[in-house]
Structure formats: structure tokens, C-alpha cells
Structure 1
Amino acid sequence: MNTSPVHNRKGSFLTQLFALRRKNQNTHVEPYIHDPVVDAPPPPPPKDHKRASTSTQRPFLGEEYINEKPLLFDVDLNVLARPPQPASQPIPVIQKIPPRIPAKAYSPPIIPLTPEEKARRRLAAQHQSELEKEAMLREEHERQETKRREKLEQERLEREEEEERKAVLQEELRAAALRKARLEREEREIEEQRLQELRERKQLEKERRLQYTKEMERWRAEQMQRAESQCSEKEEERRRSVEGRRMRVARMNEEVFSASTADRMVGWVTVQPPNMLAWKRRYYKFELGHAESKMLLYGNPREVVKPLDVLPLDGQIDSLAEWYEGFEELEAIPYSFALRFVDGVEWRMFADSAEEKDRLLVLLSEAAGIIL
């Protein structure tokens, strides 16, 4: 017994089909009418046939049932749609109709083949096999040829793409080389221009320095010439000043020592003590003696009991110097001079007038024993 899934499905389908058909036949209210044309068996085949025609082939059993599909739905729906009848009416009895079994289709007998027919069919099959093999070989050859052509076409396309890529790359390299050469040329031009500007600027600076050097040399020459002229003028002025001072000192010496000595040995002077920047105005008084000569400095004439400073003069004075003898800071101060001691101490002084300065120099030279 065949129990394959396909056979089971066919059997279950036919079983359900028969069950539905019996149910529809049992529920149908109309009686079965016998039709002699439908229920008659098929006519027998002719005796001289060799091969069953396609019209007399045995049909599939399911076709008859498939053709009778409308019977599955051959139910009077009006009966189901009718309203329920009252209980007093009798219930109609549905007559059960036995199922109709379809008749088997007639199948013609199978005629055995002769050896000639078998040989002919075998030759035809071999010829067909050879034709199919040739067709397969031809198709394989065409496929290989097509594949070869496609491969050649693909290689050609790849070569063209490679050549195009190489051409594009060569063009890009050429453009890059041209761009690099242009940039290098521009950089060289810029560098040459910068060097040229630098050389020109250096040349201008050199010329400017030369011009400045010439101007400075000319200015120095003028300054030296002016300084020499001023020095000569100053020397001449100093010489005249020294001669004039000697004449004034000689005359002042006669006047000082010919008159009252006490009145001529006092007066006012402004002094700058050593190691001090401030100038002090003092009232001076000279004491000339055989043992010691000195200069006394007071704050004012009314306070002459105790002097503020005492300058010993006898043998202590080195020189009386003018501003051009190493005291250039006194050049701007009129009637000024310096008192230089032998121990290196320096006092700077200036008088109120030229006459007062000459008288003070005469007294200092006389007290210190210095010849002016």
C-alpha cells in the first residue's frame, strides 16, 4: 500500500469531495431524475485502431468530480432563508438519495512495439542524443567564444582605461611639473628682487653713512677749528686777565696796606666747603700774625665771638686757581675762584664784585705767602 504524502493528500481530497457531495445530495429537496444519456456507458473503440487517439484517452478521475463542482453548492438557499414555521405545522422529511458512482473511462489496449520500431526509435534517440550533444558542444563553444570575446573586450576596456589613466596621470604630472617650475621661477624672481632691494638698501645706507661721516668730519673740523680759535682766544683772554689781575693786585695791595688794616680785612664771600654741594654766604675776617695767619668765617657781623669755619693760611695754601685751571664748573659763576690746600682739600668761592674778588685774592696771597 502506498502511504506517500502525495497519495494521502489525493485520498483525503477525494474523501472530502465525496463527503461534501453526499451531504449536498442528502440535503437537496428535489428527487433524482434518471438521464439515460448521461448514465449510458461510453461506446467501444473501433477494432482497427493502432493507437488510441487523444480524444479516447482515459480521463483523470478527479476531472469528473471537478466538473461536478456546482453540485457542491446545489442547495436551496431559500429554504435556509425562510422564517421559522410554527410548531403546529409538520416538519418536512428530506429524502436521502444514494450517491452516484461515476463509471470508469475506457482505456485502449497497449500494443507492443516491433524490433524494427525499437531499432528505429533507438536510432532516432541516438541521433537525437548526438544532435543534442552537438548542440551542447556548439552552445559550449559559443559560450566559450562569447566568454573569450567578453574577456578580450574586458581586457581592451581595461587597457583603454589604463592608458586613459596613464594619460591623465601624465597630464597631471606635466601640469604639476609646470606649476612647480612656475612657482620656482616666481620664487627665484622674488628672491632676486628681495636681494636687489637689499643691495640697493645697503648701498643707500652706505652712501648715507658716508655722507654722515663726511658731515661729521666736517663738523669735527669746524668744531676743532672753532675750539682752537676759542682756545687761542681764551689763552689770549687768560693772558690779558692774568696781566690785568697782576696790575689790579699790585694796585689793590698798595691800597689795602696803605689804609686802615682792620677795615680792609673783613667782608662778605660765598663759599662751598669740600664734599658739599650747597653754597654758604659767610662774613670773613683775616687774622695776620707772625706765628699764624688764618681766615675766620662767621654767619653775620654781629656774631663774631665763635667762627663757623677756620681756614689756616700760613704755609697751608697750595695755589689760588681760576676756573680755567681745572675748575670748569666755575666758568658760569662770575667773580669765582678756588682755594687749593696742600692736603688736597679744595674750597670754592665767589665775591660780590671784581674789586671784592681782587681784594680777597690779595689778602689770601699775603696771608699764605703766595705770589700771584
Structure 2
Amino acid sequence: MTSRNSDSTGAESTDPDIRMAYQSITLQGSLNWLVLTYGKSCLQWSPALKLVAAGSQGLPELKQFIAQSEQSIFFAFLRVFVDGVTCFATITYIPEGTSGLRRARTSVAGRTVQSWFKGPQATLATSHLEDLTASAIRKAMPFTPVRPVGIARTSSEAPANREKTLPRAPGSVTRTASEPATYISMRGPPNFGDPSTRSQLREAARRSSEAEDRAALREEAARQARIKWLREEEARKAVEEEGARRAQLERDLARSAAMRMARQEEERAEEERRTRERIERRRRDAERRAEVARKLEEQRLEEVRRLEEAARAEEELKRKALERRDAARFAGVKRRRESRLAGDSLLLSGWVTVQNAESVTWRRRYFQMTDTLIRFYNKDKDVAGIPVDVVVLKDAKPSVKEWYEGFEELRAIPHSFALILGSGESPMMLFSDTNAEKDLLSGLLMTCP
């Protein structure tokens, strides 16, 4: 998933449909679930996640949609009400049988989807829809929501007949060394001296206040004077800079005028020279065009002849390929009939070279084919062990494609063909050692029930 846009609700994606559905879910709108999956482009899976469905009927509707969908891998976001608590969950559904590479890619995409949906949420990954329940979502929440509880009454709301216990005052308090050494008794009024002393103290405080006011006035006057001086200095500098700017502008204008006149003279002389060269060039071009036209006509006629021959050759190759396909289908039907008569479930085994969509490397594999699947092994001695890859044919509606049916890269590879499964898997390309082996293998694939 490449730059990402974010909205006020926290969902981050370039798809506006995803953001709108996410807002409806988190803001208690009409929707309570959405489902994302990979889009499809021709025969290849698109790496972008798209909104494929959304609903308002909760977890049962979400599970029903996943169960009935033709897709295989889904990412869902859900709001569910469990035990009086609203929970949110990000769900990754990976069905059983998914290859290891696709499972790893899906896990990475799941973390990306989880980062889109902000806030506390449960994170679940499952391969069985029956494991997806409301209780499982509640258990997967990163914290346990706490229900509201009653508020305890304060002491003022206690019963009226309850006896109140008040804190006791200390007997005496002594001030610190930074304060005047005066002892204050908590059992009598404080003693601040006689009236004469109090009058002297008030007078001293008044004089100190007046001195502070005078100092503040002096500081304010000095500050205003400095501000005035700074403004005058700025005005003077502005006048000087304006004069210098005007003088420089006049010099620049004079220099520009001189340069413009010189440039105009050079342009006039250059235009005369170009006119002479243009006339001469037209004459030479006319002669050269006549020669080129003659050679091009010869090349065109040769190319037409070559293309006609190539088209005839390609049509002949396609005709032969169609004949071989009919023969291969007949051989496949015959082999299936012989297998059923003999009671053998193994239709075909042998060596083939395979290239999967996830790799650009061709790998030689030993295979065993039945009605329902093909098992691939590194060696023919490994058939008793676990295969390196399995292709399920049952209900997959496999189809065989030749090089001229959209697989031009197979044109130069003898005995090759492409296998496409209707289940949505990426195309697989194969080639056999001989045409006979290719015809039998492709014929069996074309006649799968």
C-alpha cells in the first residue's frame, strides 16, 4: 500500500470509500462493519486494497458475506456491542491452504490495515469463521473496559447525627530565621508594638513606596527616550537606503538600455545570417528528401513483403498448434478412460519445468497428477514425503493457453504452455521435455472434470 492521506477520524488510505465507511463505523453511524480485499486486474492481483462490502447487521452479516464471497483473503473492521461495552476489531481472514508466501504477504498487509484504523481495538487473525465470535473479540481487546460505578458520598453528605472530628491547633508557632524574631501565641491576639512604633513603620513604608514610584517613572522616561531614538535612527537609515536604491536603479536602467541596443544589433546581424543559411538548407533538404523518399519506398515494399511472410508463417504455427491441441484433448480423454478402467487414481507422472508467478526462475520438478490435484517434488525419490508445491484442480476449471494467447514470452520455449486456474491464482508456465509429454499433460488439464 505507497503516500497516504489521513482524516480526523484516524483512517489512513488513498481510497475515499474506505475513509467514509470507517467514519460511519467509528462515529456510530448506520454502518458497523466493512471488508477490504485485493482488487483484480486482468489475470494479475492488484496490490491495492479496495472496499468490497459494508453493512449494518453486525458480526453475523460480516461472517455470511465472507463465507459466500468468491475471494479468499479479507481484512475487516467491525464495531460490536459486547456486555454493555462497545468494542472495535481489525480482523484478518486467511483460509486454510493459502501458500506460505501469500500468508506472509497477507500478514504484512494486515499490519498496514491495522495502522489505518486508529484507537484501541482488538486484532484477530483466523482461518475458521466459527472462531470469530463476540467473546473472542472482547478477549482480544488491548484493555478491559471498566463499567461506571456509583460515586461515593463526601463527608458533607454523611448522616447528620454523625460526630465530626476536627484537627487540633498547635500550642505555639515559631517563625524561621529569615523572619523577625517575634513569638506569636495562638491563644491571644498578636502584639505589633505601641501606636508610635506602628506610625513610624507606616511612614517608612510610604517613603519607600514613593521612592519606588519615582524610580519607575525615571525608568519609563529613559525607555521612551530610547524608543524615540531608535525610531529616528530607523527612519534615517530608511531614507539613506531609499536614496541608495534609487541611485542603483538608475544605474541599472542605463546599463540595461545599452545592453538592449547592443543585443538588438547582434540579433539583426544574426537574423540576416540565418536567412541566408535557411535558403541554402532548404535547397539541400529538397534534394535529400527526394533521395530519402526513394529509399523509404524501397524499404516499405521490402517490409510489406517480410510482414506478409511472417503473417503466413505465424498462421501456419497457430494452425498446427490448434491441431495439436485437439490431439492433446483426445489423448487426455483417452488417458482418463484408461485410468478409470484400470482403477488407478494416478493419471500421469513425470518431469516438467515450472515457473510460478512469484518467481522468475524456472525449476525442474517431478510431478504426480490425479483428478483433483498435481503434486510437485524436487526429485522422483521424494514422492513418499511432503511435496514442495500442490496445485488444486478440483472446481478450479483449469485452462491451457499457448504463446499466441497472451503469453508471448513462451514463443521461444519449445513444448511450453501456460496454466490458468479459475480460482484466481496467478498463471503458472510449464514446459515438457518432448511434444508428446506436453500433449498428454495439457490434454489431461483441459479435460479436468
Same fold (TM over 0.5): no
Q: Would you tell me which structure has more helix in proportion to its own residues?
A: 1
Q: Would you tell me which structure has more strand in proportion to its own residues?
A: 2
Q: TM-score, normalising length from structure 2? A: 0.35
Q: TM-score, normalising length from structure 1? A: 0.41
Q: Which structure has more RCO (C-alpha within 8 Å, separation ≥ 6)? A: 1
Larger Rg: 1
